[in-house]
Chain A
Amino acid sequence: QVQLVESGGGVVQPGGSLRLSCAASGFSFNNYGIHWVRQAPGKGLEWVTFIRYDGSTEYFADSVKGRFTISRDDSKNTVYLQMNSLRAEDTAVYYCAKAHDRSRNYFDYWGQGTLVTVSS
């Protein structure tokens, strides 16, 4: 069955960095794009970033552009989210989610999430 498992969350000071991982299994990883979606405490969902199935293109929300990068290692079935220059407003649960297919970016499978807390 499809599984997505996030890791790497934790507490970091403002201005610091953190790298999240999303390990996938149960599907043909190199055929699907992967998204990151976050949810601040008590708030709604916010789409953060996306990497295409072949790693050729990435997209970012304006709120993280220039600070976050996304990459994938198909040999490890893993997507990485590198977060730099972190701010208090980046505090959230970060979910990775699988794109349904190459043309429709709804999220048919989600990980359980990893909590990132930016605080001094």
Chain B
Amino acid sequence: GENVEQHPSTLSVQEGDSAVIKCTYSDSASNYFPWYKQELGKRPQLIIDIRSNVGEKKDQRIAVTLNKTAKHFSLHITETQPEDSAVYFCAAEGADGLTFGKGTHLIIQP
């Protein structure tokens, strides 16, 4: 089955700086990669996703890149703001469905 590794587990950045969260996956047949943001005590919400026929996707301050050859994908947040503080989960969809990474706690320092 699919195995998704996510790093780092905790990331602290200064407000205004960029944050990068990286994930690797094991199943080369996986072709859909969503990212979720979970604020404290709330449900995970989809923030961006990418499909395997695309190498990069951007939505305002958020971008996701995908390297299918290396089987890794990353979330990039630019000009970070206090409201970006949350736990972020990557996921990969393979034959067995969606597999989540263990999450990254992003802390934005004022």
Q: Tell me, yes or no, whether A binds B.
A: no
